[in-house]
Amino acid sequence: MYIFFWAFSLLIQACQGTDRPIGETGAPSGTTQAVPANAAQPGAGVDYLLGKFDPAVHPDFVKVGKPYTDRPGMMLRKESFEAFKKMWEAAQKEDISLKIISSTRNFGQQKNIWEGKWERFAKSAPLPKDRALKILEFSSMPGSSRHHWGSDIDLNDLNNATFETGGKYRKVYEWLNEHAHEYGFCQPYTAGRTQGYHEEKWHWSYSPLSKPFLEEYRKTITDNDIKGFKGAELAAEIGIVQYYVAGINENCK
Ligand SMILES: [Zn+2]
């Protein structure tokens, strides 16, 4: 029986096309490291992680409509949306209103945002690297945004001050800080980090999905894969994967 399971495990491993250690279920001595529980699910793939797909025709995505958002065309992974709906209901019971103002954005949509800012900042930051770093305060290079993954959302307003003392959404942020983790959400871009994007009190991530996606991203994608838009040649020099994709709140890793 034991031999059977070992052989079966090896067969599964071969089918997945991975050389990852198969853990304690009969692995030959020397490869006894267990696969972590949150190991990347096989199949997300490089194109998915780079946002090179259309969520509108992807089988794992669903439309997000009212009352969760007022904007048309919003899509999320099913799992993220189900978790969000539970969080929304709980918040609503305490008179806290959560509104999704941005959800999944694919490579093309992120490219529009990036290149729009690339034009707008041309005068104030004529040197390409300065300009890229300015945009990177709050916006990702196409191919490196967590919004590609269907796990991340922006809530209520793209302005930190509105979530702070005296701001319209102060209570929203306090509630999220206290309760979002109960529904699987974390804030990737917190204050006090030493690298990556500035603080974003509006950006929340469904970590049961985004943790394995991040893990897979760091294993399979390098700065050289981030290309196809103005300023892309700066990705390696700036260190997009190391400092921006991976430069997040430790609670989201
Ligand atoms: Zn965001």
Q: What is the DSSP letter of 19?
A: -
More confident residue, 4 or 146: 146
Q: Is 166 exposed, middle or buried (0-12, 13-18, 19+ CB in 10 A)?
A: exposed
Separation of 8 CA from ligand 1 center, angstroms? 42
Separation of 189 CA from ligand 1 center, angstroms? 9
Separation of 18 CA from ligand 1 center, angstroms? 32
Separation of 203 CA from ligand 1 center, angstroms? 5
Q: How far, in Å, CA of 41 to CA of 111, rounded?
A: 27
Separation of 121 CA from ligand 1 center, angstroms? 20
At 25 the pLDDT is 34
Compute the average pLDDT of residues 107-117. 98
pLDDT at 12 over 60: no
Q: Please provide the DSSP assignment of 140-172 as one string.
A: PPTT--GGGGT-EEEES-S-GGGGSTTSTTHHH
pLDDT at 2 over 80: no
Separation of 78 CA from ligand 1 center, angstroms? 18
Question: What stretch(es) of the chain map to CATH 3.30.1380.10?
Answer: 44-252
Q: Which residue has the tokens 């529904």?
A: 183
pLDDT tens string 36-61: 444 445 558 999 999 999 999 999 99
Separation of 140 CA from ligand 1 center, angstroms? 9
- Helices 107-120 and 128-135: angle between axes, nearest 10 degrees: 120
pLDDT at 13 over 70: no
Beta bridge partners of 185: 206
**Contact indicator for 52, 45 with CB cutoff of 8 Å:** no
**Ion ligand 1, residues whose Cβ is below 5 A away:** 154, 203
Separation of 102 CA from ligand 1 center, angstroms? 7
Separation of 173 CA from ligand 1 center, angstroms? 15
Helix (H) or strand (E) holding 110: helix 107-120
Task: Determine the topology of domain 44-252 in CATH.
Answer: Muramoyl-pentapeptide Carboxypeptidase; domain 2 (3.30.1380)
